[in-house]
Amino acid sequence: MTTTASRRIFAALLLLSSLSVKAQEKKELAYPDERHFKNLQQLTTGGDNAEAYFGFDNEHITFQRTNPKEGLMCDQIFYGSIPKSAGEKFNYKLVSTGKGRTTCAYLMPDHKHFLYASTHLAMDTCPPVPDRSVIKKYVWPIYDSYDIFIADLKGNITKRLTNTPGYDAEATISPKGDKIIFTSMRNGDIDIYTMDIDGNNVKQITNTLGYDGGACFSPDGKKIVWRASRPQTPEEIKDYKDLLAQGLVMPTHMELFIANADGSDAHQVTHLGKANWAPAFTPDGKRLVFASDYEYERGFPFNLYLVNLDGTGLERISHDGSFDAFPMFSPDGKKFIFSSNRNNGGGHDTNVFVCDWVE
């Protein structure tokens, strides 16, 4: 073989290799039916990344991350800037204490602080997880050591907002920046409360037996949406109370509810069965986005849906075959963020994805 021929073959192989790399780089993360998702980007890689929420400036997020390979044995809170272009790397930093277990972070209106729930006052290590081989049910732990704190973006806790026995977590902030809504077990059941942004003027706004949580405000701050279980039969009520006494809830049957911001005119929106959760309002306040497994008998996969406030107009917007959840719009309505098992090589990693939202 001549030297010239060898060079041509080598050049051809380099070209094929380059095309292969470019094809991989251009791999589509969105499915063809996901018409609302434009320029979908994967922000995180590896571990379990979830509950990513936009700040008031549309540019920064907090999220929680577990990754034993990095020494993160249970969820800690991270903060980062959304990339402005497809090729820009997503950089993030730890902003929780690194102790205990944390959840449900939300950026404050001043762009300098965030609130989150943490168990670190009880112990530096991760609290024990439920032994499902003994309980034989899918359950969530409701750690009574959770309290809500405000911290700066250097990780320094500047204020403790809750100081009552029992679970306090799942806090979000009104778009007006004046109110915090959160979940608490201070009355013996799991209900929703509001307080002023400084932690004063605490009010209970739900009082029906069952788990009420994951609440957030509408864009105008006048309404709230949340997920709730409503045990009805004596057997369901007994099961709920027995698990609650162990600091557990079974989230396999939840529906979405909305109400005025003070808890009045509360009513059920979805009647789908299964687990309907992680709700948020669309930017115009006329619909809800949420995660659900209602289409699947075995309770999995989870996909994302839109629905009108009266429960009509249900539309499936994500189509992965495993897990899509924790959806949220940026305050200006231009971006959409969620967590998914897609593009994880067939493993169990959950990562954060962001895209431009298209109506």
Give the domain extent around 233. Answer: 121-357
pLDDT category at 28 given cuts 50, 70, 90 is confident
Q: Would 332 be classed as within a structural domain? A: yes
Q: Would 15 be classed as within a structural domain? A: no
Give me the number of domains the chain comprises.
Answer: 1
Q: What is the CATH number of the domain that holds 188?
A: 2.120.10.30
Q: Which of 34-43, 83-92, 216-225 has the lowest mean pLDDT?
A: 83-92
Q: Would 34 be classed as within a structural domain? A: no
Q: Would 344 be classed as within a structural domain? A: yes
Task: Over range 219-242, report the average pLDDT.
Answer: 97
Q: In this predicted structure, what is the pLDDT of residue 27?
A: 63
Q: Would 294 be classed as within a structural domain? A: yes
- Please list the residues that pair with 76 across neighbouring strands: 65
Q: In this predicted structure, what is the pLDDT of residue 87?
A: 83
pTM recorded for the entire structure: 0.91
Closest to 63 measured CA to CA, from 52, 55, 54, 73 = 52
Q: Would 215 be classed as within a structural domain? A: yes
Give DSSP secondary structure letters for 149-194. EEEETTS-EEEE---SSS-EEEEEE-TTSSEEEEEE-TTSS-EEEE
Q: Would 66 be classed as within a structural domain? A: no
Task: Over range 114-122, report the average pLDDT.
Answer: 98
Q: Would 11 be classed as within a structural domain? A: no
Q: In this predicted structure, what is the pLDDT of residue 7?
A: 36
pLDDT tens digit sequence for 262-298: 999 999 999 999 999 999 999 999 999 999 999 998 8
pLDDT category at 17 given cuts 50, 70, 90 is very low
pLDDT tens digit sequence for 333-356: 999 999 999 999 988 999 999 999
